[in-house]
Amino acid sequence: MAWRLIALVLLLAWTAPTCRARVKTDLLNVCMDAKHHKAKPGPEDKLHAQCTPWRKKACCTVSTSQELHKDTSRLYNFTWDHCGKMEPACKRHFIQDNCLYECSPNLGPWIQEVNQSWRKERILHVPLCREDCEQWWQDCRTSYTCKSNWHRGWNWTSGVNKCPARATCRTFEAYFPTPAALCEGIWDHSYKATNYSRGSGRCIQMWFEPAQGNPNEEVARFYAGARNAGVMPQGIERLLLSLAPMLYLWLLG
C-alpha cells in the first residue's frame, strides 16, 4: 500500500498545473508578441543607423528603427531627457538596447509570457556580456535620472514619462552604483549581468560587427539547447495526461 501512496503523490505533483509549466520549444529565430514587433523575423535592408546589424533578419520594421533614435519616440512616448539632456555617449547605449529589444530574433530562450496591455511577452534575465554592461555604466555615470527602475512608476499625466512626485534627479551612479545595478535594474531584470566576455558564446552582445556575423545566434542556440534538454518528446505529455485518470483510479483501488 505504501508504494501506491508514493506513486499517487508523484502523479498529483506531476499533473499539477504549477509543476507542468509548458516549456516553449520554438526558441530560435522568433519575435516577441509585443507592441511593435513583427510576427516573424525577416530582412529589412533599410534599418536605421544603430539598428543596421539586424537588417538581414529583424523583428523590427524600418519605421520602428527610425523612431528608436529619437529623443522622444512615438513608439512609447518615452523620453531619455526626463532629468535634463542625456549625454550622447550615454544615449547611444539606450538606442542600442532598444534596437536589440525591438529587432533581435535571438532572444527566444528568455521570452516570458506577461499580462500587459501593450505586450503579451517580455524578456527576462538575458545574459549580457560583461563589456557591454560595463561600458554602458561607464558612459552613463554622469548623466541624470530620477529612478532605478524605468519599467514602472513614471508620471504619465502629460502623455510623456515624467519623474514621479518627490523623486530627485541624481547621477546614474547614485541610482546605479555598479554596472550590474544598471543592467539588471533599469528594465526590471530584462538583463542579467555576467562575467562572460564578447565572443564567448555564452552572453548576448548589444554591440557587434554584422560583417563578421551575428554572435547572438550561437548564444541563443546554446541556451535553447539547455532549455529543451528536459522537454518531453512531442505527444508524450498529452498521452500521459490522458492516462492519468485511469492510473489515479487504479492507485486508489
* Identity at 250, one-letter amino acid code: W
Give the pLDDT of residue 136.
97
Distances (CA, A) of 73 to 45, 77, 145, 228, 253: 22, 5, 18, 37, 65
State phi, psi for 214 to the nearest 5 degrees. Answer: -100, 105
Mean pLDDT, rounded, for 161-171: 94
Mean pLDDT, rounded, for 95-114: 92
Mean pLDDT score across all residues of the chain: 83
**pTM exceeds cut of 0.85:** no
Kindly indicate the confidence band of residue 253, based on its pLDDT and cuts at 50, 70 and 90: low
Count CB atoms within 10 A of the CB of residue 57: 17
